[in-house]
Amino acid sequence: MKLSKHATAIYDSTKLPASICKVIGQLCNYDVSQKPGDLYFTLQCGGRTFFRDRWSMLIPVGNNRLIHMYKVQKTTPCSILTKYLKTMVISHGFFQDIYKYHIRLRKLENKRKRFFPTRSLEHKQEHFCEYANLEFYEIPKDTQIERRGYNFILG
């Protein structure tokens, strides 16, 4: 368990256990995993990506994983207030190719959302960040993307 400088000072100067010092640090808003300006990720599975060919036929590309990216605006000991930035769609292709592209979902635009992460979920943010930064085939930004629910049509 990693303590902040403030919680470490309490731990060093008292006989309190480290877990209690961690809680004190959280209540003082020092021992929180996210700071204002950090990115916060959520993962959603569902939908597919299709490619529209020149005859207007839809060719399935793969199954989607949506990583919603939020910017942390404010933290409290138990919650994180965020603002939606964008969504990264990672499409796991049927032939082992993986594609990614960015979209903005209208239903999330200009929305602030409060998350209540538990300490057991803190490490998942590192995994989401690592997953989002992996090298995949990038769909060009000027590609027209049509949305139907959580299905996306490229072309």
| pLDDT of 44 higher than 70 | yes
Strand-pairing partners, residue 114, are 81
Structure tokens at 53: 């060919």
- As given in the structure block, the two tokens for residue 4 are 């902040």
What CA–CA distance (Å, rounded) separates 98 from 96? 6
- Given this model, what pLDDT does residue 65 score? 92
CA–CA distances in Å: residue 152 to residues 27, 85, 147, 148: 43, 19, 5, 6
Specify whether the CB–CB gap between 73 and 82 falls below 8 A. yes
Q: How confident is the model at residue 14 (pLDDT cuts 50, 70, 90)?
A: confident
Strands 137-138 vs 112-115: parallel, antiparallel or unpaired: unpaired
This prediction's pTM: 0.77
Could you report the per-residue pLDDT of 124-145, keeping only the tens digit for each? Answer: 777 888 888 888 888 888 888 8
